[in-house]
């Protein structure tokens, strides 16, 4: 069996030990005689799986006791609507920081449920940086301030936690969660789709301060009301059981690596290797401002874009796939999430040097 180096932005690569354990347990989980996919979500076997997954996530992120951890469905796109439904709490509007395509989607969706004040935008600069905090025009009566901590498409990442005063800070962390330690207590709500750093598509993680729930808009479906979900331990409706199981295996794997401080060091080594090469040659170009470069998603372009097809074909022939950039920005994108080994980035850089020698 030959495994490729999968640079997909999501669904993304999973740690090989996790896949092997899932394969070994597929037909019979721990002597139950059942696959996890066949279990009742209310049975003792699965409730134990879900409880362990939540406990491990709390441990990895040091989630304070007064925060709820919710296992939901719909991905971050659904949360773009679910967040304002739950978090407006009688306020007329919320503040949003526009740093790219996913911020724009969040803003568009939130406008269906209340007013949106775009307090800062990086649009004028082509979404290659994050607006300086002192330029944000925050409204003192905003329900919350929303950021996208890492723009998967554009490759810009917050390397700081913005101070927004007493207003709850809400973050879409879909493509950066669990890549490094985060002070959860500085956020009112953190959410993210699982299909990048956590597990299969279908699971959405929500971490929300308990005093912020319980005032959802009347139009909020019960399954999307954070209070209902929390009161029912994420079992109000049938949750994505197998995705939760895989997430728990990933959390265990992360713990075995040394936790988030160790995985951050691993991720910084990979990112530095790739960015350092991009900065040494005019044959390639990394468009994002250095201080905002993502550790997870590295977009880059060839100086001669007519060579894009040849570059991708050659990469695939060498066992490196999913390097094509998002259709909205073009070029290339290497997503180097937690499960991407250092060897994958080394192989990519070696190929980039080889391709330049042939075509430069």
Q: Give residue 153's domain range.
A: 16-256
Average pLDDT estimate for 329-342: 96
Strand 189-193's sheet: what is its strand order? Answer: 67-72, 204-209, 189-193, 169-172, 145-148, 93-98, 115-121
Average pLDDT estimate for 261-273: 98
DSSP secondary structure letter of residue 68:
E
Check whether residue 66 and residue 154 sit in a common domain. yes
Check whether residue 218 and residue 152 sit in a common domain. yes
Longest dimension (CA), the chain: 62
**Is residue 106 domain-resident?**
yes
Confidence of residue 1 (pLDDT cuts 50, 70, 90): low
Give the domain-ending residue among 188, 222, 256: 256
Dihedral-angle region of residue 318 (phi above 0 means left; psi in -120 to 50 means alpha; beta otherwise): alpha
Query: What's the domain count of the chain?
Result: 2
**Is residue 333 domain-resident?**
yes
Neighbours of 235 (CB within 10 A): 15
Tokens of 214: 């319980």
CATH number at residue 321: 3.90.1150.10
CATH number at residue 158: 3.40.640.10
Average pLDDT estimate for 125-147: 96
**Is residue 115 domain-resident?**
yes
Please identify which residue in the block is written with the tokens 């939130």: 110
**Is residue 11 domain-resident?**
no
DSSP output for 188-203 = SEEEEESTTTTSSTT-
Confidence of residue 327 (pLDDT cuts 50, 70, 90): confident
Check whether residue 130 and residue 40 sit in a common domain. yes
Which secondary-structure segment (H or E) carries 209?
strand 204-209
Residues 68, 60: contact at Cβ < 8 Å?
A: no
DSSP secondary structure letter of residue 326:
P
**Nearest CA-CA partner of 131 in 121, 146, 144:** 121
Check whether residue 222 and residue 269 sit in a common domain. no
Check whether residue 294 and residue 219 sit in a common domain. no
Residues 319-340 as b/e (b if ≥16 CB within 10 A, e otherwise) read ebebbbbbeebebbbbbbbbbb
Check whether residue 91 and residue 202 sit in a common domain. yes
Check whether residue 244 and residue 264 sit in a common domain. no
Question: Residue 270: CA atoms inside 13 Å, Cβ hemisphere, count?
Answer: 27
Average pLDDT estimate for 337-353: 98
**Is residue 4 domain-resident?**
no
Give the domain-ending residue among 218, 237, 256: 256
Q: Give residue-wise pLDDT tens across range 36-51.
A: 999 999 999 999 999 9
Check whether residue 220 and residue 99 sit in a common domain. yes
**Is residue 6 domain-resident?**
no
Check whether residue 296 and residue 212 sit in a common domain. no
Check whether residue 194 and residue 314 sit in a common domain. no
Give the domain-ending residue among 197, 223, 256: 256
Average pLDDT estimate for 69-76: 96
**Is residue 1 domain-resident?**
no
Check whether residue 270 and residue 340 sit in a common domain. yes
Check whether residue 242 and residue 287 sit in a common domain. no
Active-site positions read: 102, 172, 196
**Is residue 10 domain-resident?**
no
Q: Give residue-wise pLDDT tens across range 205-256.
A: 999 999 999 999 999 999 999 999 999 999 999 999 999 999 999 999 999 9
């Amino acid at each position: 069996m030959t495994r490729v180096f999968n640079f997909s932005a999501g669904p993304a690569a999973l740690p090989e030990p996790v896949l092997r354990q899932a394969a070994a347990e597929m037909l019979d989980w721990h002597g139950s005689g059942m696959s996890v996919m066949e279990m009742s979500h209310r049975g003792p076997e699965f409730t134990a799986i879900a409880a362990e997954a939540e406990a491990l996530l709390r441990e990895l992120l040091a989630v304070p006791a007064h925060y709820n951890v919710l296992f939901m469905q719909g991905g971050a796109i659904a949360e773009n609507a679910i967040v304002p439904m739950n978090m407006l709490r009688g306020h007329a509007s919320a503040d949003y920081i526009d740093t790219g395509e996913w911020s724009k989607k969040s803003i568009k969706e939130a406008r269906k449920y209340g007013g949106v004040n775009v307090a800062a935008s990086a649009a004028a600069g082509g979404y290659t940086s994050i607006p300086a905090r002192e330029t944000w025009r925050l409204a003192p009566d905003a329900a919350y301030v929303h950021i996208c901590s890492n723009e998967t498409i554009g490759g810009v990442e917050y390397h700081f936690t913005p101070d927004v005063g007493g207003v709850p800070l809400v973050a879409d962390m879909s493509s950066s969660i669990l890549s490094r330690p985060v002070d959860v207590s500085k956020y009112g709500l953190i959410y993210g789709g699982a299909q990048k750093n956590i597990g299969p598509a279908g699971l959405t993680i929500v971490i929300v301060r308990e005093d912020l729930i319980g005032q959802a808009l009347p139009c909020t479906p019960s399954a999307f009301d954070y209070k209902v979900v929390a009161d029912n331990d994420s079992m109000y409706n049938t949750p994505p059981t197998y995705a939760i199981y895989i997430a728990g295996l990933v959390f265990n794997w992360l713990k075995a690596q040394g936790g988030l401080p160790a995985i951050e060091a691993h991720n910084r080594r990979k990112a530095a290797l790739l960015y350092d090469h991009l900065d040494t040659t005019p044959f390639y170009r990394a468009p994002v401002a250095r201080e905002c470069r993502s550790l997870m998603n590295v977009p880059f372009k060839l100086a001669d874009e007519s060579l894009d097809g040849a570059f991708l074909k050659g990469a695939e022939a060498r066992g490196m796939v999913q390097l094509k950039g998002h259709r909205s920005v073009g070029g290339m994108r290497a997503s180097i999430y937690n499960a991407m080994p250092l060897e994958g980035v080394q192989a990519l850089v070696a190929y980039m040097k080889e391709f330049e020698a042939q075509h430069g």
